[in-house]
């Protein structure tokens, strides 16, 4: 219950005065990156991590097998600040902005509108596509997702929990009208999204203006995950290699903020 | 071969709109923007639709039910104004369409189908009137369940209560309206002078919110504050759908006339008020009287007041009268 209240404080319109000092011990929780985490979760975790790094804030990453169960919304990643738990990208971004460290505070209104629109496009298309590939394409489910998702549990939980999760994801994609799509249609959607991103980026260093914004963090999370993850059948391989400027963008973000 | 005309089935209109459904409105607006030769069939009978919902576009034996499919098909047939846009603007169309679906649609679903007051006062009566009898019993319920599932699965979760979901959904929708308002600015349409498929979508989502007789609603009030969005919706209605506006004006005039006729007595909400009061009072009185009589509280004896006169003199009087007549 307290966790829930804390979440409300963090995600609801925070009324804290701006420019407080950044708290010392901020922990980002996620699942085990090498052995356990699934494709859609990884892109979300990476987006939050990139965002915190771009803001120049101090934090440390803790890997837990039960990170999803610790999270107030049931989704990874979440950050712990003192007694508060804040989960998912948008509430985290709102929390950071309320402390006076936001990336988009100097943007004109129209650019903020574009930023939000592109972030929803990524959430809407790429995140759905990642869920689709990870949980509904039979060979990926059997060879990658289910073994990874269940790796932390003993038998029979390592069989039961992935199955329950798969059912959940399928329901989620059904209400979004994605479950009935074929893999080709999903890849076509992803391609539309990549083309739009590539056009938006053009030859710029960042998507909006000369400094990184939330949008750059979210784009990096998704693109890096899609480019680096090896999947059986590699459905997104051709699409990710098609747009030169997007590949350079992820390389640049990685070398600027992750080392 | 002569080009076969496209056929478009949409939900019926009301409140001065060509249709009440956001997606139907968007397709209609898109067709009007680019002058697609389409035969529009406004109906309330989803029996012929493969999904039980509208819009449905039929052309050359193919059927398209989803709005994205319809737009894609029309674009493929080179209808539409999106070709005038630069590649960057096309990217913006994709992004803002996603924004609408992600942030505004859940709030609209919540408003129409999950907000108890609106559902009982507006949505359910409207659909049960529009849909013919056997279907009207279960189709609104099915759509409601679908809307609930969609909102709860995408915006809620196991650990989040219904109230929190509602707050979140409306907060996001209001933000979305603000963002659209920034994007539109003082321009006529989102990308200058020519309407695009994004304008069609925005119009579709906002027009019912603006025009429907919703019980006092936060989203409606918020939209009224975004003046440039209201202006755009009204402009589109006046420019592209004048017939529906005229229809509504006529209907309103007729209703007003009727009201003027009936409200000559003081209260127009209750016509024949005095008559009903008199009837009710009469009924109550007679019911009390009947009860009193049957339970024996009052007894009625039927008797003449004066003592019964002897028969003999009356006959003689009659006889005299008869005689008198003869004289």
Residues B250-277 have pLDDT tens digits of: 888 888 887 777 655 455 566 678 888 9
> Residue with structure tokens 């008869």?
B322
Asked if residue A124 and residue A64 are part of one domain, the reply reads: no
Q: Test B88 with A171 for CB contact under 8 angstroms.
A: no
pLDDT at A216: 92
Q: What is the ipTM of this complex?
A: 0.82
Whether the per-residue pLDDT at B290 is higher than 90: the answer is yes
Instruction: Write the DSSP string, B222-260.
Output: HHHH-HHHHHHHHHHHHHH-HHHHHHHHHHHHHHHHHHH
- Residue A227 CA to residue B304 CA, distance in Å, equals 112
Whether the per-residue pLDDT at A4 is higher than 80: the answer is no
Task: For residue A87, give its domain range.
Answer: 2-98
Asked if residue A121 and residue A93 are part of one domain, the reply reads: no
Asked if residue A147 and residue A91 are part of one domain, the reply reads: no
Asked if residue A138 and residue A42 are part of one domain, the reply reads: no
Count how many domains chain A has.
2
> Is A104 among the domain residues?
no
Q: Test A110 with B182 for CB contact under 8 angstroms.
A: yes
Percent of chain B with pLDDT over 90: 7
- Residue B234 CA to residue A235 CA, distance in Å, equals 45
Q: How far is CA A161 from CA A96, A148, A154, A174, B262, in A?
A: 34, 11, 11, 20, 67
Domain end call among A98, A132, A166 = A98
- What are the tens digits of pLDDT across the range A72-91? 888 888 899 888 888 888 88
pLDDT at B273: 81
The predicted model gives B30-45 an average pLDDT of 82
Asked if residue A28 and residue A150 are part of one domain, the reply reads: no
Domain end call among A98, A117, A142 = A98
Asked if residue A230 and residue A210 are part of one domain, the reply reads: yes
pLDDT at B10: 83
Residues from chain B that touch A110, judged by Cβ atoms under 8 A, are: 182-183, 185
Domain ranges of chain B: 6-260
Least confident of B89-103, B234-248, B286-300: B234-248
- What are the tens digits of pLDDT across the range A126-149? 999 999 999 999 888 988 888 888
Residues 142-161 in B contacting A (C-alpha not used; CB under 8 Å): 146, 149-150, 153-154, 157-160
Whether the per-residue pLDDT at A8 is higher than 50: the answer is no
Strands annotated E in chain B: 6-11, 38-43, 56-59, 62-64
Average pLDDT of chain B, as a whole number = 81
Mutate to test the interface with A, among B53, B86, B94, B157 (most CBs of A within 10 A): B94
> Is A11 among the domain residues?
yes
- What are the tens digits of pLDDT across the range B116-126? 888 888 888 88
Contact by Cβ (8 Å): A37, A148: yes
Q: Is domain B6-260 annotated with CATH 1.20.1050.130? A: yes
pLDDT at A72: 83
Instruction: Say if B50 is an interface residue toward chain A (CB within 8 Å).
Output: no
Whether the per-residue pLDDT at B286 is higher than 90: the answer is yes
Whether the per-residue pLDDT at A107 is higher than 80: the answer is yes
The model's confidence at residue B305, banded by pLDDT at 50, 70 and 90, is: low
In the beta sheet, which residues pair with residue B57? B8, B64
Domain end call among A71, A98, A125 = A98
The predicted model gives B183-211 an average pLDDT of 87
> Is A162 among the domain residues?
yes
- Residue B159 CA to residue B156 CA, distance in Å, equals 8
Asked if residue A113 and residue A77 are part of one domain, the reply reads: no
The predicted model gives B281-299 an average pLDDT of 91
Q: How far is CA A103 from CA A87, A210, A256, B179, in A?
A: 19, 12, 16, 18
Q: Test A117 with B88 for CB contact under 8 angstroms.
A: no
- Residue A45 CA to residue A30 CA, distance in Å, equals 7
**Looking at chain B, which residue has its C-alpha nearest residue A113?**
B179
- What are the tens digits of pLDDT across the range B213-246? 887 678 888 888 888 899 888 888 888 888 777 7
The predicted model gives B153-157 an average pLDDT of 77
Q: Test A121 with B99 for CB contact under 8 angstroms.
A: yes
CATH of the domain at A65: 3.40.30
The model's confidence at residue B322, banded by pLDDT at 50, 70 and 90, is: very low
In terms of Cα–Cα distance, which of B236, B200, B210, B178 is closest to B23?
B200
Contacts from A14-19 at CB under 8 Å and sequence distance 24+? Answer: A14/A94, A14/A95, A14/A98, A16/A98, A16/A99, A18/A98, A18/A99, A18/A100, A19/A99, A19/A100
Burial of residue B154, with CB atoms counted within 10 A of its CB: 0-12 exposed, 13-18 middle, 19 or more buried: middle
Q: Test A175 with B149 for CB contact under 8 angstroms.
A: yes
- Residue B150 CA to residue B324 CA, distance in Å, equals 100
Residues from chain B that touch A193, judged by Cβ atoms under 8 A, are: 94
Whether the per-residue pLDDT at A9 is higher than 60: the answer is no
The predicted model gives A213-229 an average pLDDT of 90
Q: A236: which 2 tokens? A: 């997104």
Q: Test B159 with A4 for CB contact under 8 angstroms.
A: yes
Residues 7-36 in A contacting B (C-alpha not used; CB under 8 Å): 8, 11-13
Asked if residue A135 and residue A171 are part of one domain, the reply reads: yes
Secondary structure percentages of chain A, helix, strand, coil, to 5: 60, 5, 35
- What are the tens digits of pLDDT across the range A25-48? 888 888 888 888 888 999 999 999
- Residue A45 CA to residue A224 CA, distance in Å, equals 12
Asked if residue A152 and residue A86 are part of one domain, the reply reads: no
Contact by Cβ (8 Å): A253, A216: yes
Q: How far is CA B152 from CA B12, B110, B164, B219, in A?
A: 28, 10, 11, 19
Asked if residue A194 and residue A123 are part of one domain, the reply reads: yes
Question: Which residue of A73, A177, A196 is in closest CB contact with B94?
Answer: A196
Whether the per-residue pLDDT at B93 is higher than 50: the answer is yes
Percent of chain A with pLDDT over 90: 20
CATH of the domain at A198: 1.20.1050.10
Written in H, E and C, the secondary structure of B209-229 is HHHCCCCCCHHHHHHHHCHHH
The predicted model gives A117-121 an average pLDDT of 90
């Amino acid at each position: 219950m307290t966790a829930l209240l804390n979440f409300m404080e963090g995600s609801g319109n925070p009324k804290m005065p701006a420019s407080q000092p950044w708290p010392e011990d901020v922990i980002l929780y996620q699942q085990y990156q090498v052995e356990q985490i699934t494709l859609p979760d990884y892109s979300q975790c990476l987006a939050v991590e990139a965002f915190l790094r771009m803001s120049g804030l101090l934090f440390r990453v803790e890997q837990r097998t039960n990170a999803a169960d610790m999270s107030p919304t049931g989704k990874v990643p979440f950050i712990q600040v003192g007694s508060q738990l804040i989960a998912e990208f948008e509430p985290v971004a709102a929390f950071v902005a309320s402390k006076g460290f936001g990336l988009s505070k100097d943007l004109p209104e129209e650019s903020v509108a574009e930023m939000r629109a592109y972030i929803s496009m990524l959430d809407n298309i790429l995140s759905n596509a990642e869920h689709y590939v990870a949980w509904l394409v039979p060979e990926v489910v059997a060879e990658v997702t289910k073994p990874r998702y269940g790796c932390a549990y003993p038998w029979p939980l390592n069989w039961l929990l992935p199955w329950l999760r798969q059912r959940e994801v399928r329901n989620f994609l059904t209400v979004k009208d994605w479950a009935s799509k074929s893999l080709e249609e999903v890849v076509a959607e992803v391609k539309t999204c990549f083309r739009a991103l590539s056009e938006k980026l053009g030859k710029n260093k960042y998507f909006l203006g000369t400094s990184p914004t939330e949008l750059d963090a979210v784009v990096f999370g998704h693109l890096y995950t899609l480019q680096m993850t090896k999947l059986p059948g590699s459905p997104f391989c051709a699409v990710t290699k098609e747009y030169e400027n997007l590949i350079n963008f992820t390389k640049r973000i990685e070398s600027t903020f992750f080392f | 071969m002569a080009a076969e005309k496209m056929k478009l089935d949409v939900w019926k209109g009301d409140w001065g709109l060509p249709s009440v459904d956001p997606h139907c409105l968007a397709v209609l607006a898109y067709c009007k923007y680019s002058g697609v030769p389409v035969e529009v069939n406004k109906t309330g009978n989803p029996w012929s639709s493969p999904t039980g919902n509208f819009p449905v576009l039929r052309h050359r034996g193919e059927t398209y039910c989803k709005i994205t499919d319809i737009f894609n098909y029309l674009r493929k047939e080179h209808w539409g104004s999106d070709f005038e846009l630069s590649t960057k603007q096309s990217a913006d169309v994709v992004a803002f369409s996603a924004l609408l679906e992600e942030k505004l649609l859940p709030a609209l679903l919540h408003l129409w189908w999950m907000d108890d007051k609106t559902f009982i006062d507006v949505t359910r009566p409207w659909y049960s009137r529009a849909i013919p009898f056997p279907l009207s019993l279960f189709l609104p319920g099915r759509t409601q369940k679908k809307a609930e599932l969609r909102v709860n699965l995408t915006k809620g979760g196991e650990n989040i209560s219904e109230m929190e979901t509602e707050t979140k959904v409306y907060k996001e929708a209001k933000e979305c309206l603000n963002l659209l308002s920034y994007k539109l600015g003082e321009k006529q349409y989102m990308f200058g002078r020519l309407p695009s498929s994004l304008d069609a979508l925005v119009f579709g989502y906002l027009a019912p919110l603006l025009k429907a007789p919703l019980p006092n609603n936060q989203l409606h009030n918020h939209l009224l504050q975004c003046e440039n969005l209201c202006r755009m919706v009204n402009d589109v209605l006046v420019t592209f759908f004048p017939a529906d506006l005229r229809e509504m004006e006529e209907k309103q005039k007729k209703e007003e006339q009727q009201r003027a006729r009936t409200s000559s007595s003081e209260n127009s909400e209750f016509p024949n008020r005095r008559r009903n009061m008199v009837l009710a009072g009469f009924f109550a009185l007679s019911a009390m009287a009947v009860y009193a009589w049957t339970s024996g509280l009052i007894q009625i004896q039927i008797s003449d007041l004066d003592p019964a006169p002897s028969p003999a003199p009356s006959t003689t009087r009659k006889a005299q009268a008869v005689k008198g007549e003869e004289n």
